[in-house]
Structure 1
Amino acid sequence: MTDTPVRQTRSSGPRATAYPAHRVLLVVLAGAAGVLTGLVVALWVPLAQFDEMVVQSLNAQVAPHAELVTLLGAVTDVGSETAVWVLTGVVVVAALLLRRYRAAGYLVACWLLEFVVENGLKHGIGRPRPVVPVELVHATTGSYPSGHTMGITVACVSVTVLLLGSVDRRWWRWLLVVGSLVVMAVVAATRVLLAAHYPSDVVGAMLLGTVLALALVPIAGRPDELLSRPRTAASTSDG
């Protein structure tokens, strides 16, 4: 009597579905970013009118309150180029000390690609900054996309992706995701409230930043391994 080999089927749990879900999300966000960028380049009138209306209205409300302007300026600096570099550098060093070399490479790649794409679009599109009665911040580079928003988005999404794979409790995972979204949204809001950017600038920056961070996930490891709950058994180093 011969033994009949048993065919092993793939699990239908989170690990079997995470990778396709990652790709679907990436395609949807990339499509949205592409459409919005196209509308900005085409100077679509309804979008331009909405942007202008929001910025002018907010400037009239925010400008008279010096304390609020100071607070917004402090919060918006969380997304500054220096702050993002420091955050990324600290996490990269931590990853190297833990011998998570692929994770460190992923973070560096995200930072480099964000820098290239952001500045390429700013110079390529050349969208003027909002012109308001009371200038609250001074900026000379292109308006689309928002550099502060895109930088903090890439940093938050990339770090969150790496941490999700090592957090077992569901509520901790939700806290990570929600916390990242809040930080991104707050920085984005300050850019509009300070009339440094139009609403479409920050929305486009969040979409583009998320797409870049998700597109480079394979550098750190398989998306189904990173985005699913960690296994109970001890995991091995990714170096």
Structure 2
Amino acid sequence: MHLTTTPSLAVPSRTLPRCVTVVVCCAVLFGALLALVEARWGPLAGLDRGWTDAEHRYATRHTVWIAAVQTLSDIGGTVTMRTLLGLAAGWLWLIGARALAGWAAAQCLIGWGLLWVLKLSVGRARPHFVDPVAHASNPGFPSGHAMASAITCVALVWLLRPHSNGAARVAAAGVAALAVTAIGWTRIALGVHWPSDVLAGWLAAGVVLGAVTAAVELWRPGALARDVRRVNWRTRPRVQRVLATGASGEDPSADLR
């Protein structure tokens, strides 16, 4: 059996500049946003308060609606997201894709650690209402839901990319973007985060995704691409045989008779 040719997950000569660009851009934007938050910049504070107040007024008048939003927020919570990425890392380890497994695990663990460093360092208070529809106790900047969902969804789409065609990749990216946006919005709708908290979570996720990928490529150049070929070799031939058999109508056991 030969290795099936597949697009690489990451080509070192292209990946490193892209990752550095992502890290720098997200870090600069995150730093600028943090500076505006710390300075209590009027336009940003007004946007945060106005958006959050509008969502809260709607929520207090529609209890069924807010129950649905809470359910969506719970489904897309940090525990769920980290579990999904952890399961992916475990499966990759079992099939021998150790670099990819470490990459996925590092995204999860470093993202979790950075989240709490930022939360405790900034110590931003969450929105406060006399009649809240949801509660959260820890500091609000950045949003853990937004950060965890962005890291997990982007990582999973990246892992699936070599095993799908162009249309499937676009569909997967669209679903991931919708999920990340919806989860971030639920935190605003529930009144437990400012919009800038959610944006900060997405930017912090970009820093983690880019930095971890760049670090793996610097440590073991080409290892991610080799592991993608290994995963492809373990999974794609079986799928292709099933699809080919179904399309031709042949009995897969005919050659054994």
TM-score by length of 1: 0.81
8 Å CA contact 2:15, 2:214 repeated in 1: no
Aligned twin of 1:10: none
Per-residue deviation, 1:119: 0.9
Deviation track 1:20-67 (CA, whole Å, cap 9, x = no partner) reads: 344323322222122112211222222112101111111111221111
8 Å CA contact 1:32, 1:207 repeated in 2: yes
8 Å CA contact 1:126, 1:143 repeated in 2: yes
Question: Which of 183, 187, 192 is equivalent to 1:191?
Answer: 187
- Write the mapping of 1:47-126 to structure 2, written as runs, cut at 5 A: 47-126=44-123
Aligned twin of 2:124: 127
Mapped pair 1:23 → 2:20? yes
Q: Structure 2 counterpart of 1:200, which letter?
A: S
Aligned twin of 2:158: 161
Take 1:65 and 1:82, find their aligned partners in 2: how far apart are those partners? 27
Take 1:24 and 1:85, find their aligned partners in 2: how far apart are those partners? 25
In structure 2, relative to structure 1, the CA distance for the partners of 1:39 and 1:226 (3 Å cut) is farther
Unaligned runs of 5+ in 2: 1-9, 235-257
Take 1:31 and 1:105, find their aligned partners in 2: how far apart are those partners? 27
Per-residue deviation, 1:223: 9.2
Partner of 1:150, secondary structure, is helix
Aligned length: 218
8 Å CA contact 1:118, 1:147 repeated in 2: yes
Deviation track 1:105-153 (CA, whole Å, cap 9, x = no partner) reads: 1111111111111111111111111012421111110011111111111
Deviation track 1:78-99 (CA, whole Å, cap 9, x = no partner) reads: 3323212321222112111221
8 Å CA contact 1:145, 1:201 repeated in 2: yes
Q: Which runs of 4+ in 1 moved over 6 A?
A: 222-227
8 Å CA contact 1:103, 1:219 repeated in 2: no
In structure 2, relative to structure 1, the CA distance for the partners of 1:93 and 1:48 (3 Å cut) is same
Question: Which of 205, 208, 213 is equivalent to 2:204?
Answer: 208
Take 1:32 and 1:56, find their aligned partners in 2: how far apart are those partners? 25
Mapped pair 1:148 → 2:145? yes
Question: Which of 171, 177, 199 is equivalent to 2:173?
Answer: 177
Partner of 1:63, secondary structure, is helix
Unaligned runs of 5+ in 1: 1-13
Q: Identity over the aligned pairs, expressed in percent?
A: 26
For the aligned residues, what is the CA RMSD?
2.6
Residue range with higher mean Cα deviation, 121-130 or 77-86: 77-86
Q: Structure 2 counterpart of 1:98, which letter?
A: I
